[in-house]
Amino acid sequence: MAISYDDFSKVDIRVGTVIKAEAFPEARKPSLKLWVDFGPEVGERKSSAQITRHYDPDTLVGRQVAAVVNFPPRQIGPFMSEILVLGFPDADGEVVLVGPTLPVPDGGRLF
Protein backbone atom coordinates (compact mmCIF):
# COMPACT_ATOMS: atom_id res chain seq x y z
CA MET A 1 0.00 0.00 0.00
CA ALA A 2 1.42 3.33 -1.03
CA ILE A 3 1.29 6.38 1.23
CA SER A 4 1.67 10.00 0.33
CA TYR A 5 4.55 12.20 1.43
CA ASP A 6 2.00 14.10 3.54
CA ASP A 7 1.25 10.85 5.40
CA PHE A 8 4.97 10.22 5.97
CA SER A 9 5.56 13.76 7.19
CA LYS A 10 3.00 13.27 9.99
CA VAL A 11 5.36 10.81 11.68
CA ASP A 12 7.89 12.88 13.63
CA ILE A 13 11.11 10.84 13.75
CA ARG A 14 13.94 12.56 15.59
CA VAL A 15 17.43 11.73 16.78
CA GLY A 16 18.34 11.99 20.44
CA THR A 17 21.04 10.95 22.87
CA VAL A 18 20.38 8.40 25.60
CA ILE A 19 21.15 10.19 28.87
CA LYS A 20 19.99 7.47 31.27
CA ALA A 21 19.18 3.76 30.95
CA GLU A 22 18.18 1.19 33.52
CA ALA A 23 16.69 -2.28 33.81
CA PHE A 24 12.90 -2.56 33.85
CA PRO A 25 12.24 -5.71 35.91
CA GLU A 26 8.51 -4.95 36.26
CA ALA A 27 7.93 -5.33 32.49
CA ARG A 28 6.31 -8.56 31.24
CA LYS A 29 9.06 -9.04 28.64
CA PRO A 30 12.74 -8.21 29.30
CA SER A 31 13.05 -4.47 28.75
CA LEU A 32 15.06 -1.38 29.56
CA LYS A 33 13.87 2.09 30.53
CA LEU A 34 15.52 4.83 28.48
CA TRP A 35 15.64 8.59 28.91
CA VAL A 36 16.53 10.35 25.65
CA ASP A 37 17.46 14.01 25.12
CA PHE A 38 16.07 15.40 21.86
CA GLY A 39 17.42 18.92 22.30
CA PRO A 40 15.60 22.15 23.20
CA GLU A 41 12.62 21.83 20.85
CA VAL A 42 11.42 18.39 21.99
CA GLY A 43 13.26 17.99 25.29
CA GLU A 44 13.82 14.84 27.30
CA ARG A 45 11.48 11.90 26.73
CA LYS A 46 11.39 8.36 28.11
CA SER A 47 10.72 4.96 26.62
CA SER A 48 10.41 1.30 27.51
CA ALA A 49 12.30 -0.80 24.97
CA GLN A 50 12.65 -4.56 24.54
CA ILE A 51 16.33 -4.37 23.61
CA THR A 52 18.02 -6.46 26.31
CA ARG A 53 19.42 -9.07 23.90
CA HIS A 54 22.02 -6.70 22.38
CA TYR A 55 22.18 -3.80 24.84
CA ASP A 56 22.73 -3.21 28.52
CA PRO A 57 22.16 0.11 30.27
CA ASP A 58 25.85 1.01 30.61
CA THR A 59 26.52 0.78 26.87
CA LEU A 60 23.52 2.90 25.87
CA VAL A 61 24.28 6.15 27.69
CA GLY A 62 25.73 8.60 25.16
CA ARG A 63 24.44 6.67 22.14
CA GLN A 64 22.27 8.47 19.59
CA VAL A 65 19.03 6.74 18.62
CA ALA A 66 16.11 7.44 16.31
CA ALA A 67 12.59 7.57 17.75
CA VAL A 68 9.04 8.56 16.90
CA VAL A 69 8.29 11.48 19.22
CA ASN A 70 4.66 12.25 18.33
CA PHE A 71 2.83 9.03 19.22
CA PRO A 72 0.57 9.25 22.27
CA PRO A 73 2.21 8.02 25.50
CA ARG A 74 1.59 4.37 26.53
CA GLN A 75 1.48 2.99 30.03
CA ILE A 76 3.85 0.01 30.29
CA GLY A 77 3.26 -1.41 33.77
CA PRO A 78 4.25 1.33 36.23
CA PHE A 79 6.16 3.29 33.55
CA MET A 80 4.83 5.83 31.02
CA SER A 81 6.54 5.38 27.65
CA GLU A 82 6.49 8.65 25.69
CA ILE A 83 8.40 7.74 22.52
CA LEU A 84 8.96 4.74 20.26
CA VAL A 85 12.67 4.01 19.89
CA LEU A 86 13.26 2.51 16.43
CA GLY A 87 15.12 -0.62 15.44
CA PHE A 88 15.28 -3.47 12.95
CA PRO A 89 15.07 -7.18 13.73
CA ASP A 90 18.26 -9.22 13.49
CA ALA A 91 18.22 -12.79 12.10
CA ASP A 92 16.68 -14.00 15.39
CA GLY A 93 14.06 -11.25 15.54
CA GLU A 94 15.87 -9.28 18.26
CA VAL A 95 15.97 -5.46 18.07
CA VAL A 96 19.01 -3.66 16.64
CA LEU A 97 18.67 0.07 17.28
CA VAL A 98 18.59 2.67 14.51
CA GLY A 99 20.86 5.68 14.84
CA PRO A 100 23.19 7.90 12.82
CA THR A 101 26.65 6.63 11.90
CA LEU A 102 28.15 10.06 12.63
CA PRO A 103 27.24 12.51 15.42
CA VAL A 104 24.37 14.86 14.58
CA PRO A 105 22.61 17.55 16.64
CA ASP A 106 19.98 16.16 19.02
CA GLY A 107 16.45 16.86 17.83
CA GLY A 108 17.25 16.56 14.12
CA ARG A 109 14.23 15.35 12.17
CA LEU A 110 14.46 12.45 9.72
CA PHE A 111 13.90 13.43 6.09
Tens place of pLDDT per residue across the chain (111 aa) = 899 999 999 999 999 999 999 999 999 899 999 999 999 999 999 999 999 999 999 999 999 999 999 999 999 999 999 999 999 999 999 999 999 999 999 999 998
pTM of the model: 0.94
Q: Please give, one letter per residue, the 3-state secondary structure of the chain.
A: CCCCHHHHHCCCEEEEEEEEEEECCCCCCCCEEEEEECHHHHCEEEEEECCCCCCCHHHHCCCEEEEECCCCCEEECCEEECCEECEEECCCCCEEECCCCCCCCCCCECC
